[in-house]
Amino acid sequence: MKKSKELEEKRLADLQSYEILDTLPEKELDDLAEIASAICDTPISLITFLDEKRQWFKAKKGLAVNETSRQASFCQYTLNKPEEILVVNDALKDNRFKDTSLVTGDPRIRFYAGAPLKTPSGNVLGSLCVIDKKPREISEKQKRALTLLAQKIMNFLDNRKTLIKQEQAMERKSKSLIKLTNNIPAGIFQLRMTPDGRLKFIFLSQGMKEIHPSIDLDEWIKDPTVGYSIIHPEDLSEFIKSLEESHKHLSLWYHEYRVKDNNGFKWHVVRARPEKQVNGTVEWYGSFQDISKYIEYEEAMEQISFDISHVLRKPVTSLLGLINLMTSAKKLNEDSMKEYSNHIDEVAKELEEFTNKLNDIYSTKKKKISGYYKNTYGGS
């Protein structure tokens, strides 16, 4: 009894894995059920599946109801005989069925023949059956045909199951990818240009809202040219030109430009690689990024470089001159030594002052850049 229960639990788990119960009709299975009816010359044919309490019909011909109780079903007797076709020539003469509701009431079954629907693991999910309201027999050729049709049904179900699993896996990966792109501090996109020059975003991540909160993402996806309104007027023509050049030469689309911001303007960059499709459209895969902090950092480094090369020149030149004088002097008295010492002290203080100034600038810029990375990438 315990073993029987375990086997039934495995069978039900196998049935659930096909995700077939309570699904809509499918033409391929409807056609196979009708072929079975035509071969066996019966008014009723069914593709059935049995769960814990019911017999559910995935495909049916000649019957109005969608399910019956499992207890009253003929198909339950196919579960333990996966290699045999169950044939009942006259249900009124069979003690298993003569008093059941499907025989004494509608559809008043007298003849039944059912081929098991067996999974690769050996479980029977249900049956392909043909039914008549009068007693009759079935030929060996008809039995063989039912067996072959049942195999065709299982092939369809196995392929369907594989396809469902693949679609589910793709959906999971798609959701993970969307989560990933939405958390990247950039606007990840796929942009399409048709042969007549129309633009459309096939994909634009939520990260675009992070770098430019004022945009209407839905409007921009429908019409990418809406985004032109946020570009600095002085940069717009070069932005469009860069896209056209990338389209013409199928070259990397890379362009730095300014966009409007509540506090003025920010620097953005677009990086994308184009691919030409067989229908003539060109699609770019890339990103929009806010590079304002990078630009600010570069400007700071340029200023520091300038300061080092120009501001330091004076005290260093003075120091070198003093050293030269001290070296060339034939005799240094106390007053001269004191004078040179005072000059050196002044130069040293000037150098110290400038060094402190540089340290302050470095420290300020470092904090800004570090803060940018922390806020952008979630660093500690």
pLDDT of the residue at 175: 76
Q: Quick one: average pLDDT of 247-261?
A: 93
**Do the domains 183-290 and 2-167 match in fold?**
yes
pLDDT tier at 380 (50, 70, 90 boundaries)? very low
Give the C-alpha separation, 380 to 374, whole Å.
6
- Which residues have a Cβ under 8 Å from the Cβ of 132 and sit 6 or more positions away? 42, 43, 44, 109, 110, 111
pLDDT tier at 378 (50, 70, 90 boundaries)? very low
**C-alpha closest to that of 21 among 48, 61, 60:** 48
- Which residues have a Cβ under 8 Å from the Cβ of 228 and sit 6 or more positions away? 236, 239, 240
The residue to which tokens 């079903």 are assigned = 73
- B/e letters for 87-102, b = 16+ CB within 10 Å, e = fewer, are ebebbeeeeebeebeb
pLDDT tier at 379 (50, 70, 90 boundaries)? very low
What percent of the chain is predicted at pLDDT more than 70?
79
Burial of 21: CB neighbours in 10 Å, binned 0-12, 13-18, 19+: middle
**342 vs 47: which has the higher pLDDT:** 47
**203 vs 301: which has the higher pLDDT:** 203
pLDDT of the residue at 373: 44
How far are the Cα atoms of 110, 238, 270, 372 from residue 295, in angstroms, in the given order?
86, 18, 15, 13
pLDDT of the residue at 354: 72
**C-alpha closest to that of 311 among 344, 264, 358, 277:** 358
**361 vs 230: which has the higher pLDDT:** 230
Q: Quick one: average pLDDT of 168-182?
A: 75
169, pLDDT greater than 70? yes
Give the C-alpha separation, 129 to 307, whole Å.
92
Give the C-alpha separation, 27 to 50, whole Å.
21
Q: At what angle are helices 27-40 and 140-182 packed, to 10 degrees? A: 180
**310 vs 215: which has the higher pLDDT:** 215
How far are the Cα atoms of 99, 148, 273 from residue 198, in angstroms, in the given order?
72, 53, 18
pLDDT of the residue at 374: 45
Q: Quick one: average pLDDT of 98-108?
A: 92
How far are the Cα atoms of 207, 208, 224, 286, 362 from residue 214, in angstroms, in the given order?
13, 10, 15, 21, 33
148, pLDDT greater than 70? yes
Q: Quick one: average pLDDT of 89-108?
A: 93
Q: Mind listing the pLDDT tens digit for each residue in 227-236?
A: 898 899 999 9
Q: Mind listing the pLDDT tens digit for each residue in 40-75?
A: 999 999 999 999 999 999 999 999 999 999 999 999
- Which residues have a Cβ under 8 Å from the Cβ of 331 and sit 6 or more positions away? none
Six-digit token string for 42? 């019966």
317, pLDDT greater than 50? yes
User: Which residues in the chain belong to E strands, given as ranges?
Assistant: 44-50, 54-61, 67-69, 86-88, 111-118, 124-132, 187-193, 199-204, 253-261, 264-276, 282-290
Question: Which range among 28-32, 53-57, 221-225, 376-380 shows the weakest confidence by mean pLDDT?
Answer: 376-380
pLDDT tier at 324 (50, 70, 90 boundaries)? low
**346 vs 22: which has the higher pLDDT:** 22
**179 vs 95: which has the higher pLDDT:** 95
Question: Which range among 60-74, 290-304, 350-364 shows the weakest confidence by mean pLDDT?
Answer: 350-364
As a whole number, the mean pLDDT across the chain is 85
pLDDT of the residue at 248: 94
140, pLDDT greater than 80? yes
Give the C-alpha separation, 259 to 35, whole Å.
66
Q: Is the dihedral of CA 150, 156, 160, 161 positive or negative?
A: positive
Let me know if domain 183-290 sits in CATH 3.30.450.20: yes
Q: Quick one: average pLDDT of 85-101?
A: 94
Q: Quick one: average pLDDT of 287-302?
A: 79
pLDDT of the residue at 366: 58
Long-range contacts of 315-318 (CB under 8 A, 24+ apart): 315/347, 315/350, 315/351, 315/354, 316/351, 318/343, 318/347
CATH of 2-167, one of 3.60.40.10, 3.30.70.100, 3.30.450.40, 3.30.70.270: 3.30.450.40
Neighbouring-strand partners of residue 266:
259
Return the top range by mean pLDDT from 148-157, 191-200, 354-363.
148-157
- Which residues have a Cβ under 8 Å from the Cβ of 203 and sit 6 or more positions away? 188, 189, 190
pLDDT tier at 11 (50, 70, 90 boundaries)? very high
pLDDT of the residue at 168: 86
Name the residue ranges covered by the structural domains of the chain.
2-167, 183-290, 295-377
